[in-house]
Amino acid sequence: MSPMRARRTMRRRRVGRAVVGTAAVVGTAAVVGGTVSHHQQQKYAQQDAAAQQQYDQAYQQGAADAQVQQYAPPPAQYAAPVEQVPAPDLTAQFQQLAQLHDAGILTDEEFTAAKQKLLAG
């Protein structure tokens, strides 16, 4: 083999080794990365399971409490109906007072007092 050819072969071997070494490192990183990812997935799955278990327990406790109480809505409270008293017809009452006054049944003082009483309500 000629010296030139030997040098080329050596270079090729070095480049080949570098490529193989790099591939090995990348492959190892992928395996290690996959392991770490798997570990994290397990950790998160356990946390999710614990949270779900707490939620289920709280739900079951609430359901049990509701059954014990046998919840009934509070009775409806209504306002008492307002008694509607017919408003007195003031005009008719004044006319009646005037007739009594004209007839002489009421004196001037009684008529004035009765008017004041009607107006006061």
Same-domain status, 62 and 18: yes
| Total number of domains constituting the chain | 2
Quote the domain boundaries for residue 42.
Answer: 1-69
pLDDT tens digits, residue range 15-61? 556 555 555 555 555 555 556 588 888 888 898 888 899 888 888 88
Residue 3, CA distances (Å) to 6, 7, 12, 13, 14 in order: 5, 6, 14, 15, 17
Decide: pTM greater than 0.85: no
Same-domain status, 3 and 50: yes
Same-domain status, 32 and 64: yes
Given the structure tokens 């397990």, which residue do they identify?
A: 42
Q: Is residue 11 part of a domain?
A: yes
Same-domain status, 60 and 19: yes
Q: What's the distance, CA 70 to chain centroid?
A: 24
Q: Is residue 19 part of a domain?
A: yes
pLDDT tens digits, residue range 52-104? 998 888 888 877 777 766 666 777 777 777 777 666 688 888 889 899 999 99
Q: Is residue 100 part of a domain?
A: yes
